[in-house]
Amino acid sequence: MDPPPGSGARSESPIIYGAVGRLSVLGVPTRLHFTLLLLLAFVLFVGVGVDQPPLMNLADAGAILLALGLHELGRGLVCRWRGIRMVENVIFPIGGIARLERPPRPRDEFWMSAAGPALNLAAAGALLGLLAWLGALAPVVRTAEVTAVAVLQRLALMNLALGGINLLPAFPMDGGRILRSLVALHRPHHEATRVAAATGRWLAIGVGLYGMLSANFLLLFMALFVYLGAVQESAAATGRFLTQGIPVRAAMVTEFRTLTHGDTIRDAATLLLATTQQDFPVLHGGQVVGLLSRTALLKALASEGPEAYVASAMERNFVRLSPDEDLSQVLPTALRSGSCALVMEEDRLLGLLTAENLSEFLLLRRFGMGPERPSAPPSGA
């Protein structure tokens, strides 16, 4: 059965691209990012040692997954403790990036960010302490031999590396979020984010320069990942600050064209050329029944021809927003590339909210135009 028109839930919209699969961990929908799969494939089929046996490659891959699982377990338990529901979690090689039901307060973010590295470092300390007590510690180069001691030592080192890297004061690592939470105890959230993001960018530049001089491509990749993460987090925080307390109706497009249920793809293509609009609400008897995007239009034109009806190509599960909804709460959905949401009051269509017009709205807000600037969000603990 087709879902009712406009039933698309924003919490289900993917915010992080490149994630695959879907499993439940502690009741949280969890996906794996493709970079983690690439790392696991590299470890399994190439290994980290020239003469390392395949069985040890499998042990290394298992150690990575166990360390990541322990890391995410810590954060998940703290989220439950602080009463914050995780909507979705995407696992990267350095840990997970979670979508939360509500923005965490500074103290919440501190404990959430510290829990994962703390569990990793505690596990590493316990395993290394046990091996030292047994007198079984060996140089890393000798752990290629497939023994229980070698596997435990690899697991300890993997936890040590994951915990240590995540304590670096840079987004998207936990250390960057810990730094932001501490600064946010005394300054507004968007300023705390700017401080933490700037620290992350300078750290990334330093690591990148060292990686370039030492021809270490792994460090260069890590530096690029950190730099992009810091820039993205800073932009997201600025967007939330500029839209805090502003209703959706302030940024929506109010002059737009629509299609009817009986129009053809040829009619839609003509309208696409005649206007700058790329997404068209589809009406039937005055009621919105779907949304035809430019991408869906072109696919239908190629596969079904110009005489096909728009009803066969339109999206029935479109995103629907209330005009009085806080704009800062819909940013992740509205800023997705190619996205369009319909702004509706009950069954009446009022406007469109697209990534393009929202970006223009944010640009104008930076220069003080638009609705009155809201006060800075509280930095409450």
DSSP, residue by residue, 201-261: HHHHHHHHHHHHHTT-HHHHHHHHHHHHHHHHHHHHHHHHHHHTT-BGGGTSB-S---EET
Best CA proximity match to 13, nearest among 299, 311, 247, 321: 321
First-to-last CA distance in the chain? 46
pLDDT per residue as tens, the chain (381 positions) = 344 444 444 443 335 556 666 777 667 778 887 777 877 887 777 665 556 677 777 888 888 888 888 888 888 888 888 888 887 788 877 777 777 777 788 888 899 889 989 999 999 999 888 888 888 766 665 555 667 777 888 888 889 988 888 898 887 788 888 988 888 888 887 778 888 888 888 888 888 888 888 877 767 777 877 787 777 777 777 777 777 778 888 888 888 899 998 899 899 999 989 988 888 999 988 889 999 988 888 998 898 888 888 888 888 888 888 888 888 777 766 655 457 889 988 888 998 988 788 878 888 877 766 665 444 444 333
pLDDT at res. 12: 36
Phi and psi dihedrals of 324, rounded to 5?
Answer: -95, 5
Q: Full-prediction pTM beyond 0.85?
A: no
User: Which amino acid makes up residue 370?
Assistant: G
The DSSP code for 263 is: -
375 vs 380: CA distance, rounded Å = 14
Contact present, 76 and 26 (Cβ < 8 Å): yes
33, two tokens = 């990012």
The DSSP code for 329 is: G
9 vs 25: CA distance, rounded Å = 21
The DSSP code for 30 is: E
157 vs 163: CA distance, rounded Å = 10
Which residues partner with 100 through β-bridges? Answer: 86
Map out the domains of the chain with their CATH numbers. 12-167 (no CATH), 168-243 (no CATH), 248-366 (3.10.580.10)
- Residue whose pair of structure tokens reads 């940024």 in the numeric block: 251
pLDDT at res. 49: 53
106, two tokens = 């500074």
285, two tokens = 């008897």
Q: What radius of gyration do the chain's Cα atoms show?
A: 25
pLDDT at res. 371: 60
For residue 116, give the 3-state DSSP assignment: helix
pLDDT at res. 317: 87
Contact present, 228 and 18 (Cβ < 8 Å): no
Tally helices (H) and strands (E) across the chain.
Answer: 11, 10
Contact present, 224 and 211 (Cβ < 8 Å): no
